[in-house]
A and B are shown apart, each in its own frame.
Chain A
Amino acid sequence: MQKMQFKIVSLILIALFYCIQGNAQNMQKGKKIYETRCLACHQADGGGVPNMNAPLDAASNVVGKDIARLVRIIRYGYNERVALDGFYYSNAMTASPDLKDNEIADLLTYIRNSWSNKASAVTIAQVQAAKKKK
């Protein structure tokens, strides 16, 4: 019984370890994509540019529940001039139609867990579900 418990605990620990490591890897991949495609506008600190490019840091939508919307914004770009946390932004966001599902998942995981943001990681399944919803 003791042995059994030990096995379960260590299994959980190992699984946790891989999870965290997997997350760290996803974060790293997401960061790379962010730096090449997003940083120019949203800046290194995720703070964006007042009146021009929306901030991703501390943005309620970015850490929010509507993953499908975030996926669409990345795929198709964004140019709607709606109020985001009470402010408007004038620039037209570049679309990234060539990003693969796993890359979008990594990228979203990254922006949802960088700077002051803390939110759940995004899975490939969630990215695929977003496609179907459309």
Chain B
Amino acid sequence: MYKLSNLLLACVFVFSVNAQENAGLRLPAGFSATLFADQIGAARHITINDKGILFAKLNYPNKAGQSIVRMEDANGDGIAEKQSGWGKYGGTGIYVKGNQLYASSDDAVYLYQLDANGEVTNPTAPKTIIQNLHSRRQHASKSITLDPQGNIYVNIGAYSNACQEKDRSVGSKGMMPCPILDSAGGVWKFDGSKENQSYAEGKRYATGLRNVIGLDWNNQTNSLFVTQHGRDQLNTFYPTMYTDAQNAELPAETMYEMKEGDDAGWPYVYYDPFQKKKILSPEYGGDGKLEGGKNALNPLVAFPAHMAPMALLFYKGNQFPAKYKEGAFISFHGSWNRAPLPQEGYFVAFVPFKNGKPSGEWEIFANGFAGADNNKSPRAAKARPCGLAEGPDGSLYVSDDSKGAIFKISFNK
């Protein structure tokens, strides 16, 4: 009897260890993952300084009342045994550049100073770099990145689905021209070192972007790349033009390279990955076939609809195999607007790049965040991939903004 129960215990133990192998993720051969941190709060974007200290921006303060969490793995076992935090404002953006740490709320960007040990010196008294940006609930999160000159790029998402006169209402027409675009629906550029800037001091760098949560500066092309969340609900508002099955696949989630003055076409057009065309939005007289957006960009990459790209990261390290060098990782939060069809996403994708251009098809890099295949319920997803960061050793970190996990993915030579 004693032996039997021991055996049972051993089985249970082996089973639970196996269940947690690679923190529950499915990865390409040679990669492994650890659960770097868990239950830290709604972790949106993450960033790591050259000392290997990871900072996560929380969507709203966690139980400990922190909205920026600092994590460190001092003994190198892949798990952050040290955790602390500060900050009272929720938000999404966080980005470290040298000894400066930028973090955003939904209407402002703050700057913290790091000392020689990579520690923040002014947690309670950051400088306000940008303030009074529109924060009107929908697409309010402000993602940020910097270029080598120290300019900061801020996503100001459109507070609307398709710029209808009455948002998300059946039969309401698109406004012409869309009045939202003067102060949202694009990426704005500011000086990363000046205090108290707002619209007057900044510049609309690129427009026609409904909501860009993932953005990163590409050092090879010396230009900004973004991933856009395509519009929702074609079938709800135009049931005679789009079936549920068509809505589940339209429009594509898109990646663009944005130079100053570029326009990606929202709200007038959306990108149809099957016709490979910019299609006039039905709110603006489209019928699913009419083309539009002559002067709007074509995407560099088109991903399946509604998967919600949350972060974009160009891989600079040497730890991963050569194919990953300078390529793009994109985290997909997971869809909701594919219902009643099964949801998609809940993974990290990879796009290989050569000479600053995509050089092959996108592929799934890390999967299994949702816990169950064929996930039909966003609420039931175990984890929803959000932020991405590259450690000084070339490991890739992925945050989850539902339960607050941080995954560390490494390649074992």
A77 → chain B closest CB, angstroms: 8
**For residues 41 through 74 of chain A, which have their beta carbon under 8 Å from a beta carbon of chain B?**
41, 43-45, 47-53, 55
Asked whether B276 is an interface residue with its Cβ less than 8 Å from the other chain, the reply is no
With contact pairs A45-B377, A49-B336, A92-B168 given, residues A40 and B138 touching in the complex (Cβ less than 8 Å): no
Asked if A53 and B168 sit within 8 Å, CB to CB, the answer is no
Q: In the assembled complex, which residues on chain B have CB atoms less than 8 Å from the CB atom of A47?
A: 377-380
Of the candidates A39, A51, A55, A81, the one whose C-beta lies within 8 Å of that of B59 is A51
Chain A contacts for B138, CB-based, 8 A: 90-92
Q: How many A-B residue pairs have CB under 8 A?
A: 71
By the criterion CB–CB under 8 Å, are B376 and A81 in contact?
no
What is the CA–CA distance of A124 and B339 in the complex, to the nearest angstrom?
30
Mostly helix, strand, loop or mixed at chain A's interface?
A: loop
A59 to B404 CA separation, bound complex (whole angstroms): 23
In the complex, which of the residues B60, B233, B376 contacts A40, with contact meaning CB atoms closer than 8 Å?
B233
Per-residue A-contact encoding for B152-184, CB less than 8 Å = 1, 0 else: 000000000100001111100000000000000
Count residues of chain B with CB under 8 A from any CB of chain A.
30
Cβ-based interface call for B337 (8 A): yes
Complex contact B170–A52 (CB within 8 A): no
Chain B residue, CB-CB nearest to A37: B236
Q: Which residues of A contact B378 (CB under 8 A)?
A: 43, 47-50
Mark A74-100 against chain B: 1 for CB-CB distance below 8 A, else 0.
000101010000001011111100000
Interface presence of B137 (CB below 8 A) = yes
Q: Which residues of A contact B167 (CB under 8 A)?
A: 92
A: contact size bracket: 20 to 34
Closest chain A residue to B384, Cβ basis: A50
* Shortest Cβ distance from residue B118 to the other chain A in the assembled complex, whole angstroms: 31
Q: Is B76 on the interface with A (CB-CB < 8 A)?
A: no
Is the beta-carbon distance between A94 and B169 smaller than 8 angstroms?
Answer: yes
Contacts of A44 in B (CB 8 A): 339-340, 376-377
Q: How far is the CA of A36 from the CA of B233 in the complex (A)?
A: 11
Q: Would A55 and B137 count as touching, CB distance under 8 A?
A: no
Chain A residues with CB under 8 A of B337: 40
Bound Cα distance from A91 to B161, whole angstroms = 9
Q: With A40-B233, A88-B60 given, name 17 new contacts (CB 8 A).
A: A35-B340, A40-B235, A40-B336, A43-B377, A44-B340, A44-B376, A44-B377, A45-B377, A45-B379, A45-B380, A48-B378, A49-B378, A50-B384, A50-B402, A51-B59, A81-B137, A94-B170
Interface residues, chain B, with chain A CB atoms under 8 Å away: 42, 59-60, 137-140, 161, 166-170, 232-233, 235-236, 239, 336-337, 339-340, 376-380, 384, 401-402
